[in-house]
Amino acid sequence: MASWEVSTSGFLNKFGFQSIRSKIIIFALISTLIPSLAMGWLSYINNQRFLTEKINQELQSVTSHTSREIDLWLKERLYDIRVFSSSFVVSKNLETMLRKKSSKDQRKTARRHITDYLRSVRKKFVDYEELMVVDRNENIVASSAMGKTAVHLPGDWLKRANSGTPIIGTPVWDEFHKTGVMMVAAPIVSARGRLLGVLAAKLNFRTLQKILDNYNFQDTGHLYVISPEGALLVGTQRLDAGFMETRLSPKTTNRLFALEAIVMEFSNYRNIDVIGALNKIPQAGWGIIAELERDKAYAEIFHLRNITIAFVAGILLLVGLSAYLLGLTIVGPLNRLIQGADKVASGDLEVSLPPVTGGELGFMTSVFNYMVERLRQGRDKLAAVNQALEERNIELRELSVTDSLTGLFNREHLHETLVNELARSERHQHEFGILMLDIDRFKQFNDNFGHLAGDEVLRKVASIFKSSVRSCDYVARYGGEEFIIMLPETPMEEAVQAAERIRACVEKEPFSPEGKRIKITISVGVSSFPQHGTGEEALIQKADEALYEAKKSGRNRVVPL
């Protein structure tokens, strides 16, 4: 037993704290410290909730204001395009270019007027990389760009132009301008109301970049605009990849768009765990995301949490150590009693427990030791009786299944074994052989040399039989001078060979009753399962018939049926 347990028990005994009740009272007094720990934990939870709400409000406010600002910017650009497309310079000159009766010079002059107009407008607005006029066949009629450029209108732009729906393309990389652009367009209608084409503009994202920079928040906060497919268009952080090549995972993108304006945790395009929210930009279908790195956002909470955990751990360690030491003085003796009872239940009565404490546990320990001592005494007496009974049972079992003269199995045991082997061989469809053996002229030998000599012959022949067969074979005395040997897993041909081997062993064995050398021989009949029957009586009867033929044929021979 540990020395500290002895010392603690002695200390408590000096103050009269020997009973379980007094120790429980001490433990309850110590447990009053728990409310203080609970208050510290509640304080941490409340501070975490306050900071989380503050972060959520800030993220939602930034995304809401930024999305409105971008949506307003896009509406203004759409309004600008509608104003440009309704200009008389554009509609009149485009109609002249498309009129079949117009001369080549008239078309050339009209194109120059439109081009000059587009370039003058382009210089006044920084949001446009290029302005162009496109006819109904999606051919560029005039452009502010000086060179071959491309059209990036949506597939249903003509249908939208006819219905007056705003025409907004998807963001693409424009190889001519070497920048990302998005095309917006408005219909150009003649004085008679006929659709002539559209005035299209390639919007750049520089103004969007300024809007995001103006709304950037905190040192670790970032804003960026994504497409519905998760491609990043512009952001407050510089993108390492090309335009729209940086993407959020599809799962994160779908979740952000489905739970609009809800603050959640996710991995951003840099695989950093962040807290963020998304607000949709209605006109474009984009989303504006505001995010904070999770570890930095909750740094204050994590610090407070660590302090709280350290404080709680210190208190718990102190209380736990005190409760542990006090509890051991209660639980220790009880555990020893339980372990002792388990050993007794499993049969180990060599148990003796030291009565360390006083009070109820000390008394229980003394009573337990007395009980075990009485059980030990009773066990020793019972063990002696059981030993005698076991020895007697073994003798009775051997007598019930063996022949007292030869030591072989008797006829009753033969019956049980043969029934089991029949069932097993039939189930597995295996063969086995039956040998019925009889000592030749045994009655004459008894008459000449007496029954004692006859008994000796029976014992010696039985010994030869046992030593001549396999360990899996079975030898029994059937009655008188008749024996049966069962050969499992043995077909007829091999059974005959085994019988011949046994016959030869008996024939060459010397017998010398009263000093006279006598040759003893046996006759053997052989039957086989299932060739000669599937029942016990049938097999023995067939073997007996074969034995009769062996006797009839002159004895000292093996005859298969």
DSSP 67-116: HHHHHHHHHHHHHHHHHHHT-HHHHHHHHHHH-TT--HHHHHHHHHHHHH
pTM greater than the 0.85 cutoff: no
The per-residue pLDDT for 238 is 77
Q: What H or E segment, with its residue span, contains residue 128? A: strand 128-135
The values of phi and psi at residue 88, to 5°, are -60, -35
Q: Which of the pair, 26 or 519, is modelled with greater confidence? A: 519
Q: With bands split at pLDDT 50, 70 and 90, how would you rate the model's confidence at 43?
A: confident
User: Which of 131-135, 377-381, 521-525 comes out lowest in average pLDDT?
Assistant: 377-381
The answer to whether 477 and 428 are in contact (CB under 8 A) is no
Distance between CA atoms of residues 252 and 89, nearest Å: 48
Q: With bands split at pLDDT 50, 70 and 90, how would you rate the model's confidence at 343?
A: confident
pLDDT in tens, 79-118: 999 999 989 999 999 988 988 888 889 989 999 999 999 9
Q: Is the pLDDT of residue 20 over 60?
A: no
Please classify residue 369 by burial: count the beta carbons closer than 10 Å to its beta carbon, then call 0-12 exposed, 13-18 middle and 19+ buried. Answer: middle
Q: What is the mean pLDDT of residues 428-444?
A: 93
Q: What H or E segment, with its residue span, contains residue 223? A: strand 221-226
Distance between CA atoms of residues 353 and 367, nearest Å: 10
Q: Is the pLDDT of residue 258 over 80?
A: yes
User: Which of 220-229, 346-355, 543-552 comes out lowest in average pLDDT?
Assistant: 346-355
**Is the previous residue joined to 166 through a cis bond, with omega within 30 degrees of 0?**
no
The per-residue pLDDT for 4 is 58
Q: Is the pLDDT of residue 322 over 70?
A: no
Distance between CA atoms of residues 365 and 336, nearest Å: 9
The per-residue pLDDT for 387 is 82
Residue 285: Cβ within 10 Å count: 12
- Give the residue from 244, 206, 21 showing the smallest Cα distance to 126: 206
Q: Is the pLDDT of residue 445 over 80?
A: yes
Q: Which of the pair, 463 or 283, is modelled with greater confidence? A: 463
- Whole-number average pLDDT of the chain: 84
The values of phi and psi at residue 501, to 5°, are -65, -40
- Give the residue from 199, 195, 201 showing the smallest Cα distance to 163: 195
Domains and CATH numbers, the chain: 3-32+306-343 (no CATH), 51-64+208-297 (3.30.450.20), 86-201 (3.30.450.20), 411-560 (3.30.70.270)
Distance between CA atoms of residues 332 and 197, nearest Å: 95
DSSP 283: T
Q: Which of the pair, 553 or 20, is modelled with greater confidence? A: 553
Q: Is the pLDDT of residue 2 over 60?
A: no
% of the chain exceeding 70 in pLDDT = 87
Instruction: Give me the helix-helix angle, 34-85 and 206-214, nearest 10°.
Output: 150
Q: What is the mean pLDDT of residues 323-340?
A: 67
DSSP 472: T
The per-residue pLDDT for 120 is 93
Q: Is the pLDDT of residue 400 over 80?
A: no
The three-point CA angle 301-304-309 to 5° equals 120
Task: Reduce the secondary structure of 342-411 to three states and give it as a string.
Answer: HHHHCCCCCCCCCCCCCHHHHHHHHHHHHHHHHHHHHHHHHHHHHHHHHHHHHHHHHHHHECCCCCCECH
User: Which of 105-114, 143-152, 330-339 comes out lowest in average pLDDT?
Assistant: 330-339
User: Which of 208-212, 308-312, 536-540 comes out lowest in average pLDDT?
Assistant: 308-312
Q: With bands split at pLDDT 50, 70 and 90, how would you rate the model's confidence at 278?
A: very high
The values of phi and psi at residue 385, to 5°, are -65, -45
Please, what sign has the CA dihedral across residues 380, 385, 386, 390?
A: positive
Q: Is the pLDDT of residue 213 over 90?
A: no
Q: What is the mean pLDDT of residues 324-345?
A: 69
The values of phi and psi at residue 181, to 5°, are -135, 165
The per-residue pLDDT for 363 is 72
Q: What is the mean pLDDT of residues 438-453?
A: 90
Distance between CA atoms of residues 387 and 312, nearest Å: 63
Q: What is the mean pLDDT of residues 270-284?
A: 89
Q: What is the mean pLDDT of residues 155-160?
A: 90
Distance between CA atoms of residues 258 and 230, nearest Å: 13
Q: With bands split at pLDDT 50, 70 and 90, how would you rate the model's confidence at 22?
A: low
The per-residue pLDDT for 17 is 59
Q: With bands split at pLDDT 50, 70 and 90, how would you rate the model's confidence at 174?
A: confident
The per-residue pLDDT for 42 is 79
Q: With bands split at pLDDT 50, 70 and 90, how would you rate the model's confidence at 505?
A: very high
% of the chain exceeding 90 in pLDDT = 37
Q: What is the mean pLDDT of residues 378-382?
A: 76
Q: What is the mean pLDDT of residues 364-391?
A: 76
Distance between CA atoms of residues 160 and 200, nearest Å: 13
The per-residue pLDDT for 502 is 94
Residue 182: Cβ within 10 Å count: 23
Q: Which of the pair, 335 or 490, is modelled with greater confidence? A: 490
